[in-house]
């Protein structure tokens, strides 16, 4: 009989658990689950800090066309909703075309002053690096969106942009948000929609998306947003990231 040990009786190395270095373990522990693979954003007051130029142009149009100075609350009440024509219809139903023309002539050059809402440019990059798919759904016309992106080079971060001139119905109807989801080939329940107006929250709920209200837009105050009962309401970019 051979003096070699049989395989069943040969010595085996003891099992040693694999221990990750502290830096790797901390990184793994810090990975945040991706709640929403698709995040859609309103533009004005959510991504770009445009409330001041919108108000300035609304004041200018009302003064120039109507010779009036309506209160700011009235001028801004419909911003972010059905579109510029609807905003002007609320001021003077029989002067809509003239009001729109004067507004745009005043507003479009002001886009050169635009800046991002605080922290949003970094947040967009962070979401994109995580593999999120991003889009814009706005009441702005596509041509006006292009003016904004000429100043703020963010267009490459968004896979789709739905402008206010691309759908028959507008926020608070869900059609624009559903168009964005359809273009991306995703289900509404996989999407969060982020906006700063009551119209945004209503549209997100109607579309079956997670509705996030942001308070930094300076167009609609927090009580109005809270009254719409969004799924989340946030006051800065870090809070928004945590909600997504």
pLDDT-derived band at 64 (thresholds 50, 70, 90) equals: very high
Whether 13 has a pLDDT exceeding 70, the answer reads no
CA-closest candidate to residue 207, choices 172, 162, 158:
172
CA-closest candidate to residue 41, choices 237, 218, 224:
237
Could you give the domains of the chain?
38-49+114-243 (3.40.50.1000), 52-112 (1.10.150)
Encode pLDDT of 171-215 as tens digits.
999 999 999 999 999 999 999 999 999 999 999 999 999 999 999
Encode pLDDT of 38-57 as tens digits.
999 999 999 999 999 999 99
Confidence (pLDDT) at 217: 93
pTM over 0.75: yes
Encode pLDDT of 87-136 as tens digits.
999 999 999 999 999 999 999 999 999 999 999 999 999 999 999 999 99
Mind telling me the catalytic residues?
42
CA-closest candidate to residue 104, choices 171, 46, 165:
165
Helix, strand and coil in the chain, % to nearest 5 = 45, 10, 40
Q: How many CB atoms lie within 10 A of CB 217?
A: 25
Confidence (pLDDT) at 29: 46
- pLDDT greater at residue 11 or residue 108: 108
Confidence (pLDDT) at 10: 47
Confidence (pLDDT) at 34: 78
Encode pLDDT of 27-36 as tens digits.
444 455 679 9
């Amino acid at each position: 009989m051979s003096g070699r040990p049989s395989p069943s009786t040969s010595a085996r190395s003891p099992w040693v658990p694999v221990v990750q270095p502290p830096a790797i373990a901390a990184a793994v522990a810090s990975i945040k689950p991706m709640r929403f693979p698709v995040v859609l954003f309103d533009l004005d007051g959510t991504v770009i800090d445009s409330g001041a130029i919108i108000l300035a142009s609304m004041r200018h149009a009302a003064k120039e066309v109507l010779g009036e100075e309506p209160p700011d609350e009235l001028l801004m009440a419909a911003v972010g909703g059905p579109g510029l024509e609807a905003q002007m219809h609320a001021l003077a139903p029989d002067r809509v075309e003239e009001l729109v023309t004067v507004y745009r002539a005043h507003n479009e050059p002001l886009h050169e002053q635009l800046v991002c809402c605080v922290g949003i440019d970094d947040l967009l990059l962070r979401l994109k690096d995580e593999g999120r798919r991003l889009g814009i759904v706005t009441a702005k016309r596509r041509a006006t969106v292009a003016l904004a992106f000429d100043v703020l080079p963010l267009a490459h971060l968004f896979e789709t942009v739905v402008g206010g001139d691309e759908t028959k119905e507008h926020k608070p109807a869900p059609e624009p948000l559903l168009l964005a989801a359809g273009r991306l080939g995703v289900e509404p329940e996989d999407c969060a929609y982020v906006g700063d107006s009551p119209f945004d929250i209503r549209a997100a709920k109607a579309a079956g998306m997670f509705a996030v209200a942001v308070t930094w837009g300076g167009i609609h105050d927090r009580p109005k947003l809270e009254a719409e009962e969004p799924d989340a309401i946030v006051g800065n970019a870090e809070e928004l990231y945590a909600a997504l």
